[in-house]
Amino acid sequence: MELSADQVVETFGAAADENRMAPSRHEQVVQLPPEGELWMTGDLHDHRRNFDKLVKAADLGGNPQRHLILHELIHGDHYDAAGAEESWITLYRAAELKCDFPGQVHFLLANHDLAQIHGKGIMKAGLSVCEAFTKGVKRAFEKQHNVVTVAISEFLLSLPLAARTESGIFCCHSMPTDDQIDAFDFTIFDRELTGPDYAQRTGPVYQLIWGRHMSPATVDKFAEKVGAELILTGHQPQEMGHAINGDKHLILASDHNQGVFLPIDLAEKYDLETLVGRLQKFVALDV
């Protein structure tokens, strides 16, 4: 993909503005409409075929009442011999999609996003995924890589923390752990965020997007605090594409051939069993 630094900076900037100024956004939460359709994904991690299938099948232009939630797009498995990877391209394509369909495309801040903003924090097979991402940007834009890196960081910082439906479904990348939930600062969903909110381990944004292996009891506490009946997250790898955690929590993964996405009728109320029955595998999409 041949792109100029100016074009990339402009697109990420426009998409960031759309994220911040979206009429559906209330502080850090996107309020989805009472009717229409939502397609919720799990982590994509630069799985380009699944991303292509998702965009083509969603056909947002032909389905103006359809909404798409994307998260954890970066840091995939496409490394070159020098240890560089190009998941910035998938992120760029998602930003383009936001600009083309600003009212239909929504994002959730994820832990790999925050790690990339900080420039450190995640290792995979002995490699720093953040360094590999940065190498990819440097290779593509050479002397202009700094301005592109800033635009990417600003875009990632513009992402909301959650989305909710009027039927009681709350979507976020993850949740705080069992030992964090009682002291967790739920005000982050209802106010402007500041630097300490992102602090490693102690910041509530960090705790929200990095938490793993929370018990159903913790899910119940979280759901009560955010006024939800069901919680949809990603973050925790799932070999078969999803996992059920208690009776309120469904974990999705979209970053491999058995990955899934979840189409939801925004006008309907669901229990967890019914939602699970609606899951669709990317491998089954004939597009």
Per-residue pLDDT, 210: 97
pLDDT band for position 1 (cuts 50, 70, 90)? low
Query: What pLDDT is recorded for position 125?
Result: 74
Whether the per-residue pLDDT at 285 is higher than 80: the answer is yes
**Neighbouring C-beta atoms of residue 195, cutoff 10 Å:** 7
Show the tokens assigned to 192: 């402007």
CA distances from 277 to 165, 169, 190, 240, 274 (A): 19, 16, 32, 14, 5
Determine the length of the chain. 287
Q: Are 207 and 180 in contact (CB under 8 A)?
A: yes
pLDDT classification of 216: cutoffs 50, 70, 90: very high
CB atoms within 10 A of CB 64: 11
The alpha carbon torsion through 55, 59, 60, 66 (nearest 10 deg) reads -100
Average pLDDT over residues 235-258: 97
pLDDT band at 23 (very low <50, low <70, confident <90, very high): very high
Span between the terminal Cα atoms of the chain, in Å: 22
CA distance 142 to 178: 44
pLDDT of 64 reads 98
Q: What is the pLDDT of residues 94-145, one digit of tens each?
A: 999 999 999 999 999 999 999 999 988 888 877 899 999 999 999 999 999 9
Average the pLDDT over 167-192 and give the result: 98
Kindly list the domain boundaries of the chain, sorted by start residue: 5-282
CATH superfamily assigned to domain 5-282: Metallo-dependent phosphatases (3.60.21.10)
pTM: 0.97
| Spatial distance between the Cα atoms of 173 and 236, rounded to a whole number of angstroms | 9
Nearest to 248 by CA among 274, 223, 278, 279: 223
Distance CA 113, CA 244 (A): 25
Residue 53 has pLDDT above 90, yes or no: yes
Contact 21, 163 (CB under 8 A): no
- Residue 109 CA to residue 87 CA, distance in Å, equals 16
Question: Considering only CA atoms, which of 163, 140, 236 is closest in space to residue 244?
Answer: 236
Average pLDDT over residues 176-181: 98
- Report the relative pairing of strands 169-172 and 230-233 from DSSP bridges: parallel
Do 232 and 71 touch, CB atoms closer than 8 A? Answer: no
Can you give the pLDDT at residue 211? 97
Phi, psi of 49 (to 5 degrees): -65, -45
Strands (E) located in the chain: 25-26, 29-31, 37-41, 66-71, 105-108, 123-124, 127-128, 162-164, 169-172, 230-233, 242-245, 249-252, 260-265, 280-281
pLDDT tens digit string along 55-97?
999 999 999 999 999 999 999 988 888 889 999 999 999 999 9
